[in-house]
C-alpha cells in the first residue's frame, strides 16, 4: 500500500447523483481488479473508501454516488478539477481470479465499479471465456454506462449483460431485482460469482447461490 496524491483531471455527471471522477497519480501503482482506494478528505477529515472503476496504474476512474446527507460523498463529488486528495492504494481482497472459468457478475448501484474493472481486465487478458453482468438499479434515470456496456458486448462476443429495474418498467430492461436471475438454469454455465452492492443484496444473492448448489469458495463479494 502507498499513500500519494490523487489529482482530479475529469469529472462527469452520469446521473442526477452519480459522478465519474478521474484522477492521476505521480507514479504508477500495481492494482488488482476489484481493489479500492481510501481517500483522506481535507475539509471533513473523514476517510472514505471507493472501489476503483478502472485504472492503468496511474489514471484512476471512480464511480461515486453522492448520498443524500452524506458528508464524505458530497465532499469528494465536489472536488474541483486540478485539486488533489491524498489516497491510500491498493486496498482490499475482492479481487478477480484470472482463470478461464466462466464468470457471473452481479452488482447494484455503484457496486458497478469494481465489477466493471474486473470485466474489463478479463477482456484485456486475452482469456476467452463467457462473462455476464447482471446490473440492478431503481429506475431508468439511474442507468449509466450503457453505451460502454454495448461497446464491450460488441467487442467481446463472450460478454453479455442484463439490466434490472426494481421500481419501474422500461425498454431493454427487466422489472425486478438482480437476485431474480439466480435460478439453477441461469447460473448453470458459470463457475465463479462476483457480487457487489448493498449488504442485503449480497446476503440474498449468496443465499440463493448456495441454495442452487454453489460452493462458498466459488462466491466472491464486496458490500457497501
- Tell me the residue range of the domain where 69 lies: 2-91
Q: 147 and 80 in one domain?
A: no
Which of 91, 119, 137 lies at the terminal end of a domain, its last residue? 91
Of 91, 118, 151, the one marking the end of a domain is: 91
140 and 202 both lie in a single domain: yes
pLDDT below 70 — which residues of the chain?
A: none
Domain boundary among 91, 112, 139: 91
Mean pLDDT, rounded, of the chain? 97
Residue 20 is assigned to a structural domain of this protein: yes
Same structural domain, 117 and 205: yes
Q: Tell me: do 28 and 49 sit in the same domain.
A: yes
What's the confidence (pLDDT) of residue 187?
98
Provide the pairing of β-strand 103-108 with 18-24. unpaired
For residues 110 and 84, membership in a common domain is answered with: no
Claim to verify: residue 87 and residue 108 sit in the same structural domain: no
Is the residue at 96 inside a domain? no
Q: Residue 59: which of 84, 83, 11, 26 has the closest Cα?
A: 26
The secondary structure of residue 52, as a DSSP letter, is -
pLDDT tens, residue by residue, 91-121: 999 999 999 999 999 999 999 999 999 999 9
Question: Cell triple for residue 141?
Answer: 434515470
Q: Does one domain contain both 26 and 130?
A: no
Q: Which residues contact 193 (CB under 8 A, 6 or more apart)?
A: 103, 104, 106, 187, 205, 209, 214, 218, 219, 220
φ and ψ at 20, to 5 degrees? -105, 120
The answer to whether residue 97 sits within a structural domain is no
Query: Which set of grid coordinates corresponds to residue 186?
Result: 441461469
At 126 the pLDDT is 87
**pLDDT score for 71:** 97
Domain count, the chain: 2
Q: What is the pLDDT of residue 224?
A: 85
- List, in order, residues 6 or more apart from 79 with CB less than 8 Å away: 8, 11, 21, 85
150 and 128 co-located in one domain? yes
What DSSP designation does 73 have? H
| Residues 200, 75: Cα–Cα separation, whole Å | 26
Residue 35 is part of a domain; what is its CATH number? 2.40.30.10
Amino acid at each position: 500500500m502507498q499513500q500519494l496524491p490523487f489529482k482530479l483531471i475529469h469529472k462527469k455527471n452520469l446521473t442526477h447523483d452519480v459522478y465519474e471522477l478521474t484522477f492521476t497519480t505521480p507514479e504508477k501503482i500495481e492494482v488488482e481488479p476489484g481493489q479500492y482506494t481510501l481517500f483522506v478528505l481535507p475539509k471533513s477529515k473523514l476517510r472514505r473508501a471507493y472501489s476503483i472503476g478502472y485504472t492503468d496504474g496511474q489514471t484512476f476512474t471512480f464511480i461515486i454516488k453522492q448520498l443524500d446527507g452524506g458528508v464524505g460523498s458530497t465532499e469528494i463529488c465536489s472536488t474541483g478539477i486540478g485539486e488533489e486528495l491524498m489516497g491510500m492504494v491498493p486496498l482490499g481482497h475482492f479481487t478477480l481470479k484470472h482463470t478461464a472459468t466462466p464468470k457471473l457478475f452481479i452488482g447494484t448501484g455503484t457496486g458497478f465499479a469494481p465489477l466493471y474493472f474486473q470485466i474489463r481486465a478479463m477482456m484485456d487478458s486475452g482469456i476467452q471465456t463467457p462473462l455476464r453482468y447482471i446490473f440492478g438499479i431503481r429506475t431508468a434515470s439511474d442507468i449509466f454506462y450503457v453505451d460502454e456496456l454495448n461497446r464491450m458486448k460488441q467487442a467481446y462476443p463472450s460478454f453479455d449483460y442484463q439490466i434490472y429495474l426494481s421500481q419501474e418498467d422500461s425498454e431493454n430492461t427487466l422489472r425486478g431485482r438482480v437476485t431474480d436471475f439466480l435460478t439453477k438454469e441461469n447460473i448453470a454455465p458459470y463457475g465463479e460469482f462476483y457480487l457487489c452492492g448493498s449488504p442485503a443484496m449480497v446476503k440474498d444473492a449468496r443465499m440463493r447461490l448456495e441454495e442452487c448448489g454453489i460452493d462458498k469458495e466459488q462466491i466472491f463479494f464486496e458490500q457497501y
